[in-house]
């Protein structure tokens, strides 16, 4: 009996759904909120330099909603951090999974008091605390926190993850049977092809117009000038709620044969940066266009993502017209299809390698007169003719040329080392105040230089321009109250400022004793508590800040309470 390719794909998908239901307990975990689950982002959605590793649950644009334990277990860890999760709770469950709840405003009372006491004991606001099973047991539905907007959050919501406790891999929570209605198929808005004779980066994406006819997407015959190509797709999943969600599953078929597929079931934080090898990073970072590759880049080593032994690279051996079908699915099985045809015609010349070509899986060191950059074998996802040169700096505090390292639109997987010689002899005291300032185009980063003889060293995992800056400036904070004034509100807020880099250390003392200020982006906030009650009179607040170069500044503020 002959089984047609489309039927075979359907059978495989049904088998996948059944396997998922067997692997992941259904309805074991409850909704962690008291309102219906509505998604602002799903697992695997494309983010800057990482996959989204859980579900973003809407909180109706409000903070301080009750956050509940998704199942019985115990609080095994909490985090308090400036960016990332902000305030987070980890609950370990007896079935081998751990749930994570992030961007919280406040922990439940007993836990909150424990964390606060440790912060005062350590005289440190940021914390990463682990607990034993008997310290903070919880039951399913128990209040564990209040939702918020802390850390790297851009608006009030709850970030919710499910992890394998042993491996710490993040698992797709939508595979656990949560009741989130979804009857909307993925929406396709773009098709792209790439010349794969050299690299997806050079010459880059070639856009193909897509149109929708009935329930199917189509494109005109794609005529290409390279015998070796791959495809990329621009698409989003809408579910029933209007937000742009990430694509869960994709398959690419040529002449009815499956040649590539991916699905986003699980990812570890160690591997999440490999997202940059799954997308057209240049289009995403430069043009804000999200294109997912329907092929494997040679330096992309993400496990459990793409179909084994299928590269997605198409070798056109003739000038015949070949049928292409792209199938996209969400976790609920809602499906979209794009059909088109591809034909090789008028083969053009490809990109040739240069003396500074860097290949994936190959480490390489490149130099200019005053600089050196060293890449590991894991640095790049695809080949690139690397551009590195020097130019004069426009910064009056620069003590080196500006080193141009390709551009910010080429991704790097791991950290590389850059070494730069200053353009004049520096004293020991001057060297101690030098930072390597890296400009990514959209933002900057400053790292205190490590000296190896007459070379300053630093490590980065993005590209752009680097230069040495002699920074003698002092960091500072400014208050939201007039000195000596009566503060009647619920908090003190200080705004941080630096000329170069960041405030890397902050210490506040109230009348000689350490006071707990939270870091909120560039601000420092103290919520009044028993250490500074109403009616306690006049107070002196001593604040010491240190910037990236190591320069320290101490300021004194007074207020009445």
**pLDDT tens-place string over residues 369-406:** 999 999 999 999 999 999 999 999 999 999 999 999 99
pLDDT interval class at 8 (50, 70, 90): very low
pLDDT in tens, 258-270: 999 999 999 999 9
Q: Which residues are paired to 508 by β-bridges?
A: 543
pLDDT at 502: 95
Q: How many CB atoms lie within 10 A of CB 362?
A: 15
- What is the pLDDT at residue 233? 98
Separation CA 282–CA 202 (nearest Å)? 11
Identify whether the C-beta of residue 267 lies closer than 8 Å to the C-beta of residue 53: yes
Identify the DSSP state of 480: S
pLDDT class of 9 with cuts at 50, 70, 90: very low
Question: What's the mean per-residue pLDDT of the chain?
Answer: 93
- CA dihedral of 268, 271, 275, 276, whole degrees rounded to 10: 160
On whether the CB atoms of residues 262 and 250 are closer than 8 A, the answer is yes
What's the gap between Cα 98 and its chain centre? Answer: 21
% residues pLDDT > 90 (the chain):
89
Read off the pLDDT band of 441 (50, 70, 90). Answer: confident
Count other Cβ atoms within 10 Å, centred on residue 310: 17
Sign of torsion over alpha carbons 373, 376, 378, 382: positive
* DSSP states along 530-555: TTS-TT--EEEEEEEEEETT--EEEE
Q: Which domains does the chain have, with CATH numbers?
A: 25-176 (2.70.70.10), 187-344 (no CATH), 357-470 (2.60.220.30), 476-560 (2.60.40.3780)
Q: Is a pLDDT exceeding 50 seen at residue 12?
A: no
pLDDT recorded at residue 163: 97
Pairwise CA distance, residues 195 & 238, whole Å: 31
Q: How far apart are CA 192 and CA 338, in angstroms?
A: 12
The pTM of this model reads 0.92
| 213-226 pLDDT, tens digit each | 888 999 999 999 99
- Give the pLDDT confidence score for residue 460 in this predicted structure: 95
The per-residue pLDDT for range 31-83, each reduced to its tens digit, is 999 999 999 999 999 999 999 999 999 999 999 999 999 999 999 999 999 99
Residue 21 has pLDDT above 60, yes or no: no
Model confidence at 339: pLDDT above 70: yes
Q: Is the pLDDT of residue 128 over 80?
A: yes
Sorted by sequence, the CB contacts under 8 Å of residue 485 that are 6+ apart come out as: 559, 560
Please report which confidence band the pLDDT of residue 135 belongs to, taking 50, 70 and 90 as the band edges: very high
Higher-confidence residue of 434 and 535: namely 434
The residue with greater pLDDT, 488 or 65, is 65
Query: To 10 degrees, the CA torsion angle through 221, 280, 295, 375?
Result: 140
Q: Judge whether 494 and 543 are in contact, CB under 8 Å.
A: yes
Please give the backbone phi and psi of residue 88, each rounded to the nearest 5 degrees, phi first. -140, 150
Instruction: Return the ∠ at Cα 496 (arms to 444 and 398), rounded to 5°.
Output: 40
- How many whole angstroms separate alpha carbon 553 and alpha carbon 373? 34
Dihedral angle sign, alpha carbons of residues 182, 8, 219, 350:
positive
Does residue 554 have a pLDDT over 80?
yes
User: Is the confidence at residue 527, as pLDDT, over 50?
Assistant: yes
- The answer to whether 332 and 182 are in contact (CB under 8 A) is yes
Phi first, then psi: what are they for 19, rounded to 5°?
A: -65, -40
Identify whether the C-beta of residue 456 lies closer than 8 Å to the C-beta of residue 420. yes
| pLDDT attached to residue 229 | 97
Let me know how long the chain is: 561
The reported pLDDT for the residue numbered 4 is 45
Helix, strand, coil % (nearest 5) of the chain?
10, 40, 50
Interval 143-178: pLDDT, tens: 999 999 999 999 999 999 999 999 999 999 999 999
Number of neighbouring beta carbons within 10 Å of residue 424: 8
pLDDT interval class at 200 (50, 70, 90): very high
Cα radius of gyration (the chain): 27
Asked if 164 and 266 count as a contact pair (C-beta separation under 8 A), the reply is: yes
Return the bridge partners of 342, or none. Answer: 222, 322
Cβ atoms within 10 A of the Cβ of 116, count? 14
Element (H, E) at 490: none
For residue 369, what are the CA distances in angstroms to 395, 400, 466?
Answer: 20, 12, 14
Instruction: Give ∠ CA 99-103-104 in degrees, rounded to 5.
Output: 85
């Amino acid at each position: 009996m002959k089984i047609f390719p489309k039927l075979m794909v359907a059978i495989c998908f049904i088998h996948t759904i059944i396997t998922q239901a067997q692997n992941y307990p259904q309805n074991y975990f409850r909704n962690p909120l008291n309102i219906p689950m509505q998604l602002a982002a799903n697992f695997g959605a494309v983010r800057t330099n990482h996959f989204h590793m859980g579900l973003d649950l809407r909180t109706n644009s409000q903070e301080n909603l009750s956050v509940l334990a998704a199942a019985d277990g115990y609080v095994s860890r909490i985090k308090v951090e400036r960016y990332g999760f902000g305030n987070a709770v980890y609950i370990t469950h007896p079935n081998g999974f751990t749930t994570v709840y992030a961007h919280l405003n406040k922990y439940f009372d007993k836990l909150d008091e424990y964390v606060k006491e440790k912060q005062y004991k350590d005289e440190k606001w940021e914390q990463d605390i682990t607990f034993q099973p008997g310290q903070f047991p919880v039951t399913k539905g128990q209040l564990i926190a209040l939702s918020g907007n802390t850390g790297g959050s851009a608006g009030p919501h709850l970030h919710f993850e499910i992890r394998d406790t042993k491996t710490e891999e993040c698992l797709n929570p939508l595979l656990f049977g949560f009741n989130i209605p979804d009857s909307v198929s993925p929406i396709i808005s773009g098709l792209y092809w790439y010349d794969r004779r050299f690299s997806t980066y050079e010459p880059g994406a070639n856009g193909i117009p897509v149109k929708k006819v009935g329930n199917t997407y189509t494109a005109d015959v794609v005529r290409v000038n390279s015998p070796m190509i791959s495809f990329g797709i621009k698409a989003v999943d809408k579910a029933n709620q209007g937000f742009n969600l990430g694509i869960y599953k994709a398959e690419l078929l040529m002449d009815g044969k499956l040649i590539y597929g991916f699905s986003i079931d699980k990812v570890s934080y160690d591997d999440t940066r490999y997202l940059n090898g799954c997308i057209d990073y240049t289009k995403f970072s430069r043009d804000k266009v999200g294109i997912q590759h329907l092929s494997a880049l040679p330096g992309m080593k993400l496990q459990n993502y793409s179909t084994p032994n299928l590269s997605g690279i198409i070798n056109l051996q003739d000038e015949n017209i070949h049928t292409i079908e792209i199938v996209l699915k969400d976790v609920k099985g809602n499906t979209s299809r794009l059909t088109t045809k591809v034909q090789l015609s008028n083969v053009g010349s490809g990109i040739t390698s240069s003396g500074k070509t860097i290949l994936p899986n190959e480490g390489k060191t490149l130099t200019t007169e005053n600089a050196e950059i060293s890449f590991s074998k894991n640095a790049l996802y695809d080949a690139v003719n690397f551009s590195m040169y020097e130019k004069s700096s426009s910064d009056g505090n620069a003590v080196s040329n500006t080193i141009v390292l390709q551009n910010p639109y080429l991704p790097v997987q791991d950290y590389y080392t850059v070494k730069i010689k200053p353009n004049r002899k520096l004293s020991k005291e001057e060297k101690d105040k030098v930072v390597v300032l890296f400009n990514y185009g959209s933002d900057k980063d400053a790292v205190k230089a490590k000296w190896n003889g007459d070379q300053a060293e630093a490590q980065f995992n993005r590209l752009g321009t680097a230069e040495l800056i002699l920074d003698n400036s002092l960091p500072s904070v400014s208050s939201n109250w007039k000195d000596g004034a009566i503060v009647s509100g619920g908090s003190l807020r200080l705004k941080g400022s630096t000329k170069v880099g960041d405030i890397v250390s902050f210490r506040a003392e109230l009348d000689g004793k350490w006071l707990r200020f939270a870091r909120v982006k560039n601000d420092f906030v103290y919520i009044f508590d028993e250490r500074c009650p109403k009616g306690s009179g006049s107070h002196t607040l001593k604040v010491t800040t240190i910037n990236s170069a190591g320069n320290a500044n101490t300021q004194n503020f007074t207020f009445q309470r």
